[in-house]
Amino acid sequence: MTQTERDLVMSYQTAVDKVTELEETLKTAKKAKDACEKNLLDHLETTGAEKTATYEGLGYVTRVKPRLYARCNEENYDR
């Protein structure tokens, strides 16, 4: 069965709508993750700890210094 032009347009619009919805969901999830990360870092700094306790089924979170990472190719080390 051949799709009509209308079917193609409808399929495309449905896909665009789904992507838009997922992008908004992702944006919300990233904000929530960032807030959790900030809360954990604040907690660790307040308590003077480098890591949380280890929780069964979850593991633990640890601070790594520096918080920013840089990566470069070996040939660029002299710059």
Distance CA 67, CA 77 (A): 20
Task: Identify the pLDDT of residue 23.
Answer: 98
Distance CA 39, CA 61 (A): 12
Are 44 and 52 in contact by the 8 Å Cβ rule? The answer is yes
Distance CA 48, CA 29 (A): 28
Q: What is the pLDDT of residues 11-68, one digit of tens each?
A: 999 999 999 999 999 999 999 999 998 899 899 989 999 889 999 888 888 888 756 4
* Bridge partners (DSSP) listed for residue 55: 59
Query: 0.85 exceeded by the pTM?
Result: no
